[in-house]
Amino acid sequence: MSEHPPLVLVVEDEPDLADLYAAWLGDEYRVRTAYGGQEALDELDAVNNDVDAILLDRRMPGLSGDEVLSAVRERGIDCRVAMVTAVEPDFDILKMGFDDYLVKPVTSDTLRETVTSLLQRGEYDSEVQELFSLTSKKAMLEAEKSSTELADNTEYQDLTARISELRSKADESLEAIAGDDDDFEKLFQEFDDDE
């Protein structure tokens, strides 16, 4: 682990809001701000793409948040990304490579919790990261869409199937870890006994 706190890039075209997010996070993290899409890419260049998390607005003049996200993924930058936006989620989010999606307005607690969660996810393997990301997208769509709209959307059905597949793999991995190991079972028995 680095001796420096994690680096968070806040990308928001409203400077007051970007600065507010930076102030909320500044006690725990190193924070850089970008007031537009191109400036975000310039900031990434300035830190040699070495960023741990990005908070990214979707709707910005010039280079949109969607385009910045595509550029981040095309560059192979290994960081977690949360969209923080006033744009209500639609089925288009299923093709986007973000990890979490917050609809403005957000509170300081929500923003801090999101960054903490993003950084923790970064420690997991790629399939677990994908599971978290897809589950977040599923929850957002279920909050916004009717059951009929969800049932009629093929991409949503594919998302649900992929989540089931990833959960099944995760369960198999846990079973493999547990195996016949008595110590593993004792650990959980002791936990249950403490409650």
How many structural domains comprise the chain?
Answer: 1
Asked if residue 1 is part of any domain, the answer here is no
**Residue 184's pLDDT band (boundaries 50, 70, 90)?**
very low
Residue 28 has a pLDDT of 96
Alpha carbons within 13 A on the beta-carbon side of 124: 16
Indicate which CATH number applies to the domain containing 21: 3.40.50.2300
Q: Are strands 100-103 and 53-56 parallel, antiparallel or unpaired?
A: unpaired
Q: What is the mean pLDDT of residues 139-164?
A: 94
Residue-number span of the structural domain to which 58 is assigned = 7-194
Contact 109, 47 (CB under 8 A): no
Q: How far is CA 164 from the centre of its chain?
A: 19
Residue 123 has a pLDDT of 84
